[in-house]
Chains A and B, each alone.
Chain A
Amino acid sequence: MKFVSPAGVKKVQTDMTPMIDVVFQLMVFFLFTFKIAPVEGEIGVNMPAITAGSSAQKQDVTIERVPIKLLAGNSGGLDQVMLGERFLGGGEQALRSLSQVLKDTYAGPGGVVNDVEVEVDADRQLRYHWVIRATNAIMYAGIDAINFRDPKIDPRHK
């Protein structure tokens, strides 16, 4: 029987080239597909499903409903904000006023607003970001119950 003496063991040289090739290919792929996505947030809204006969929805009489109208101007800008019958002006300044008026009128101790639901009625031509900004202003006043009025479902006023 033949034994190999320890002195006969040679150093094994592994060829790293294919591995490095593959690794660099992967690097290039990931580098080209890499995109920093902006952080997204959400505004949760519950709107009941429309079924046959749902137009006569039960409404909680203990909740005060506050109508807010967002009127569009030229090129879809926010021309006018109406809180009930009150005009608050247009643009970003009007949204700040809206937030302040809602807070002053409905916020209880600690800024908590209870039993108030805001119904937003926005013009169809209004840019979407104004609707989101208005929602932002309403939520900033401490009101989470927001409903978006759809004139085709609920043609009450207008």
Chain B
Amino acid sequence: MKFDHAKPSVIDLDMTPMIDMTFQLIAFFMFTINFNNDIVNKDVQLPVAEIARPVERAMLRPLFLNVDREGRLLTGTDVGNIDLRDATQERKLIEYLSAEKEHILDEMYAKFAKLDESEELKATVVIRAHEDAEYGPVQDLIRTCRVAGFSRYSLRAQLKQRPTQ
């Protein structure tokens, strides 16, 4: 009987399909990754509104204000959270909004070179409040924004249909 004593050859695995697939997946994840986590808080469960319009792209940087279930403004900055139900924190809120307004005004100066003093503040305030938050703190927040000079507001909601109960 004759045996083949030839040396086993190196098996060459074709890696091309796997690398193709992996790069496809990476490309998908890269395009869908959300870098707005600091301004769009995922813990805020938005209310549902079937008639809400799709979000338009703002001309200037919008001011995102996230309000949680307990009525706290989640600034996401060093300022920390501001309890909107606590009257003693009103000063902190005013200072925060004033600082944000200054940033937006600087942006307006940079973008349009010249700013008419009579022109209103063009930035949109985006209110993202938790669906179970009380309306009172949200109302106070909007009033403070109006005092700070903001006049355009976008109330955010989920577009999906609420399941029938």
Q: Which residues of A contact B (CB under 8 A)?
A: 16, 19-20, 23-24, 26-27, 30-31, 33-35, 37-51, 76, 122-133, 135-136, 139-140, 148, 150, 152-153
CB <8 Å contact, A48 and B146: yes
Q: Which residues of B contact A129 (CB under 8 A)?
A: 47-48, 131-132
- What is the total number of residues of chain B having a CB less than 8 Å from a CB of chain A? 55
Q: Which residues of A contact B23 (CB under 8 A)?
A: 23
Most buried by B among A122, A131, A140, A150: A131
Residue of A nearest to B130 (CB): A128
A interface majority secondary structure: mixed
Q: Which residues of B contact A150 (CB under 8 A)?
A: 139, 142-143
Q: How far is the CA of A34 from the CA of B25 in the complex (A)?
A: 12
Q: How far is the CA of A47 from the CA of B127 in the complex (A)?
A: 13
Q: How far is the CA of A51 from the CA of B46 in the complex (A)?
A: 31
- Whether B55 is near chain A, meaning CB under 8 Å from some CB there, is yes
With A35-B34, A123-B135, A128-B135 known as contacts, the answer to whether A42 contacts B48 (CB < 8 A) is: no
Q: Which residues of A contact B22 (CB under 8 A)?
A: 20, 23-24, 27
CB <8 Å contact, B146 and A47: yes
With A27-B26, A41-B156 known as contacts, the answer to whether A131 contacts B135 (CB < 8 A) is: yes
